């Protein structure tokens, strides 16, 4: 690489950097091209990516998250491919790739990765989002959505949850994408009228009768996610249309279950 001030070729140098990153003061060794005449620094794309990765690993080590190198090492110890890890942790393979190359995982995802790499996560169910199905929580989430939308989502007596299930699906998928755990533990199937609670016809009445006071209270981030969904989809038609356009739904055959690993393909919210 040549100096932009016309001093000829620049030299690759290690530079110690100290900076404030996500509230942490970090010291790390960056690599830059440096002009021996004017001292200007520059990166090419490869260097910029490598420096970003070094910073990310430095940060993750400082706050007690697995670094990219540790994830790779843990996986290699088990002789796992990235796909093996994605299956054991019940996350998309794209996430595994991003974490290994420098994207910072959330604390919740870090716990899930550690469990998977320690072999504790034996039978991760790809269809419940790391939570046992709770009808009371489904009721609680739907009631909260009704409040946010200013209209009742569960209509008696013969509601098929045509729209309610779409709100639920987005809430579960986005919670999983963000925190590694669904809100309700519900399993979804791709039906002609969109993503729907699996076996919904048997569940609807049970959900209506469920006591939402028995459900685990909603966490702050869950309410935040629901608020975002309610703002994005004010009408039942809009959530219905958006759900139909999601690859996570479109890529499935009729009746096929939609795994939570598809959460990272959600586009509309």
- Asked if residue 258 binds Zn ion (CB under 5 A), the reply is no
41 binds Zn ion (CB under 5 A): no
Please list every residue from 6 through 25 that binds Zn ion, using CB under 5 A: 7
| By CB under 5 A, residue 42 contacts Zn ion | no
CB of 9 to Zn ion, least distance (A): 10
In the complex, least distance from residue 15 CB atom to Zn ion, rounded to whole angstroms: 16
Taking CB under 5 A as the rule, does residue 38 contact Zn ion?
yes
Q: Which two tokens stand for residue 35?
A: 């002009």
Gap between the Cα atoms of 178 and 176, Å rounded: 5
> For Zn ion, which stretch binds (CB under 5 A), given 38-46, 57-65, 173-181, 183-191?
38-46
Nearest alpha-carbon partner for 217 in 144, 110, 109, 108? 144
**Which of these ranges, 36-44, 120-128, 139-147, 209-217, lies near Zn ion under the rule CB under 5 A?**
36-44
What residues form DSSP beta bridges with 32? Answer: 13
- Of 34 and 242, which CB lies nearer to Zn ion in the complex structure? 34
Say whether residue 34 binds Zn ion (CB under 5 A): no
CB 235 to Zn ion: min, Å: 59
Smallest distance, Å, CB 32 to Zn ion? Answer: 13
The closest residue (CB) to Zn ion is 35
By CB under 5 A, tell whether 206 contacts Zn ion. no
Beta carbon of residue 103, minimum distance to Zn ion (angstroms, whole number)? 34
Specify the residue for token string 């996430």. 95
5 binds Zn ion (CB under 5 A): yes
Q: Using the rule CB under 5 A, is 2 a contact of Zn ion?
A: no
Q: Which of 225, 203, 224, 227 is nearest to 147 (CA)?
A: 227
CA distance 202 to 30: 58
Burial class (CB in 10 A: 0-12, 13-18, 19+), 164: buried
Q: Give the Cα separation of 10 and 4 in Å (integer).
A: 9
Buried/exposed code over 192-215 (b: 16+ C-beta within 10 A; e: otherwise): eebbbbbebeebbeebbebebeeb
Sheet order of strands, 24-34 included: 11-21, 24-34, 41-42
Q: Residue 220 has which token pair?
A: 């702050």
Tokens at residue 250, please?
């479109």
Segment contacting Zn ion (CB under 5 A): 33-41, 47-55, 154-162, 214-222?
33-41
* Residues forming the site for Zn ion (CB under 5 A): 3, 5, 7, 35, 37-38
């Amino acid at each position: 690489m040549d100096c932009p001030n016309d001093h000829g070729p620049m030299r690759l140098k290690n530079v110690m950097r100290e900076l404030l990153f996500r509230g942490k003061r970090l010291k790390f060794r960056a690599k830059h091209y440096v002009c021996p005449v004017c001292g200007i620094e520059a990166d090419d794309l490869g260097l910029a990516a490598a420096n970003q990765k070094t910073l990310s690993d430095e940060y993750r080590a400082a706050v007690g998250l697995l670094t990219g190198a540790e994830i790779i090492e843990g996986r290699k110890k088990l002789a796992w491919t990235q796909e093996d890890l994605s299956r054991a942790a019940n996350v998309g393979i794209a996430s595994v790739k991003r974490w290994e190359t420098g994207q910072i995982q959330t604390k919740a995802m870090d716990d899930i990765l550690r469990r998977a790499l320690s072999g504790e996560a034996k039978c991760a169910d790809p269809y419940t989002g790391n939570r046992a199905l709770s009808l009371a929580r489904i009721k609680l989430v739907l009631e909260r959505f009704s409040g946010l939308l200013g209209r009742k989502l569960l209509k008696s007596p013969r509601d098929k949850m045509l729209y309610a299930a779409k709100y639920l699906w987005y809430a579960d998928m986005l919670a999983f994408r963000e925190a590694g755990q669904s809100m309700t533990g519900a399993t979804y199937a791709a039906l002609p009228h969109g993503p729907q609670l699996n076996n919904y016809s048997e569940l609807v009445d049970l959900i209506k009768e469920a006591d939402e006071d028995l459900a685990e209270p909603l966490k702050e981030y869950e309410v935040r996610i629901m608020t975002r969904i309610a703002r994005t989809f004010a009408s039942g038609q809009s959530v219905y249309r958006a759900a139909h356009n999601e690859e996570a739904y479109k890529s499935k055959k009729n009746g096929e279950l939609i795994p939570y690993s598809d959460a990272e393909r959600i586009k509309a919210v």
